[in-house]
Structure 1
Amino acid sequence: MKKLLFIGAGKMATAIAGGLVRAKLFTPGELQAYDVSETAAAEFTKATGVACAIRDCAALARDAERVLLAVKPQTMTAALAGLSEVLSGKPVITIIAGVPIARIAELTGSRQVIRVMPNTPALIGKGAAGIAASPETAPEELALAEKIFGSVGVVMRVEERNLDAVTALSGSGPAYVFEFIQALADGGVAAGLSRAAATELAVQTVIGSAEMVRATKLHPTVLKDQVTSPGGTTIRALEVLEDRAFAGAVIQAVRAACLRSEELGRN
């Protein structure tokens, strides 16, 4: 019997499986995957060393101790059709965006449902994920799920009602950071740097600043003040950001994404 079956073998499933193998939480032989796409199945196996089948998902699910659902929301119902009989007694982990625990329990028949919202930096082992579980979930299954996602980043336990906020902050957050990096590099180009130099400096500045927050454990405002000299270049730049409501725009962006996540969940 396999210890974990991935239903869906896309990029996120590949990242998670690869992390599990690298962290030695599971051997490739203890894992199994299923995907309707022959191409996705082949790429998954090439990247992880884990076998991925393209047929007879029900038999695979029957032979697994637990499953991890990694399909798209719009294909979820079809992917889980006919599986409730074999999944009803098994723990189910889901990374299907916007779909609540109650709906997954309805489709799978499982009472042990663990819902996770990861983000794309998990693809390089630097992810951030929020995790919540149904009340019936065994503590050891929740702990295992935390180890699974801890193999590709940081995991934070939250109430399910807060997963929309997690989606808005860390789920969608990489897009905000990429936009900022692009704008920062564009500013460097406008000031006379080459595109390559501006991009490299912008990327390293974001990485280094984030690591300073983590390493020093100081409030970001304290670290900001350490950079800001009276009458200097930084305060002049911060004055422009304040005038353009930079902080307020970011806050409103996260709130808008949270509201949209709530809408998608209701639908």
Structure 2
Amino acid sequence: MTEITSAVIIGAGPMGSAIAIGLKKSSPTIALQVIDPDITRWDALINAGISTTQHLPNPIISEAIVIAIPPQAFGGFSENNPQLEHYTGIIISVMAGINLSALTNQLKTSQICRVMPNLPCAINEGVSVSIFAPETTQENNTLVRELFSKPGLFLKLVERHTLPLLYYTPQWQLLRTSLRNEFENWARQHLADYATDQCGNIYWSYEIIEFSHSTMWHPT
């Protein structure tokens, strides 16, 4: 399998609807079904030719699941839909605030990734950012990349390493306060990101990111 041909999107709010409609535009042949108990959210989806229903199928036969519900609703939803624990495809979360560890533990699967694609899907251009659980297969990595690179640029976080800022000499130690002030100034301008521990030590990170973009489709 070289691309996802069917997917279930859980949630028909602004985020879920934007993703569903955007994916339908960028991948016209994909079979989408959106799950949401609130039928008042269905009109735009139905007009876009997307199937809607109130309940998650059992069993789930789609190749991918996109979870696009508010994070506070996730615990109750997963408990009320035990068929998720038997699902063998890739599960894509666009929920903010729920990390990969929590997702894999709750859903009992290693085939998980987090993606933030709702704006690129909504406007058919932009950047989708992703991070995958360590045991996600290469096939599922590729399927998600191909799916979300069509509306825009797709970024995958391959590695991230966090290191302490070390002061190797007495002269560097004298600059410690100035360096921290500079880091804070960069952060206020959104030019840098860093963390500190209880002792005030600065930790910085470097990342290896994979870029991909589909040239097969252009918005009209």
Which of 9, 13, 17 is 2:20 aligned to?
A: 17
* Aligned counterpart, 1:51: 51
Give identity over the alignment, percent.
24
More helix by percentage:
1
Does the C-alpha gap of structure 1 residues 66 and 252 become closer, same or farther in structure 2, counting only changes over 3 Å? same
Quote the offset at 1:153 in angstroms: 1.8
Structure 1: runs of 5 or more not aligned = 163-247, 260-267
CA–CA separation in structure 1 for the residues paired with 2:28 and 2:113: 18
**SS of aligned partner of 1:57:** coil
* Aligned counterpart, 1:78: 76
| Paired amino acid for 1:82 | N
Alignment: residue pair count:
169
CA–CA separation in structure 2 for the residues paired with 1:138 and 1:9: 28
**Higher Rg:** 1
Does the C-alpha gap of structure 1 residues 258 and 70 become closer, same or farther in structure 2, counting only changes over 3 Å? farther
Does the C-alpha gap of structure 1 residues 161 and 42 become closer, same or farther in structure 2, counting only changes over 3 Å? farther
Relative to the length of structure 2, the TM-score reads 0.65
Which one scores higher on RCO, CA 8 angstroms, separation ≥ 6? 2
| Paired amino acid for 1:17 | A
CA–CA separation in structure 2 for the residues paired with 1:160 and 1:38: 41
Quote the offset at 1:53 in angstroms: 0.8
RMSD: 3.0
Quote the offset at 1:21 in angstroms: 2.3
Quote the offset at 1:66 in angstroms: 2.1
Relative to the length of structure 1, the TM-score reads 0.54
Q: Deviations over 1:9-37 (max 9, x none)?
A: 2223223222322233633xx21110122
CA–CA separation in structure 2 for the residues paired with 1:31 and 1:128: 22
**SS of aligned partner of 1:143:** helix
* Aligned counterpart, 1:142: 141
CA–CA separation in structure 2 for the residues paired with 1:104 and 1:20: 23
Q: Say whether the 8 Å CA contact 2:21–2:121 is kept in structure 1.
A: no
**SS of aligned partner of 1:75:** helix
1:68 aligns with 2:66: yes
* Aligned counterpart, 1:245: none
Structure 2: runs of 5 or more not aligned = 162-183, 196-220
| Paired amino acid for 2:60 | R
CA–CA separation in structure 2 for the residues paired with 1:93 and 1:69: 6
| Paired amino acid for 2:53 | A
* Aligned counterpart, 1:103: 102
Quote the offset at 1:84 in angstroms: 4.0
Q: Deviations over 1:74-98 (max 9, x none)?
A: 1111222233444432321111112
More strand by percentage:
2
* Aligned counterpart, 1:31: 32
| Paired amino acid for 2:34 | A
Quote the offset at 1:112 in angstroms: 0.3
1:155 aligns with 2:154: yes
Quote the offset at 1:109 in angstroms: 1.5
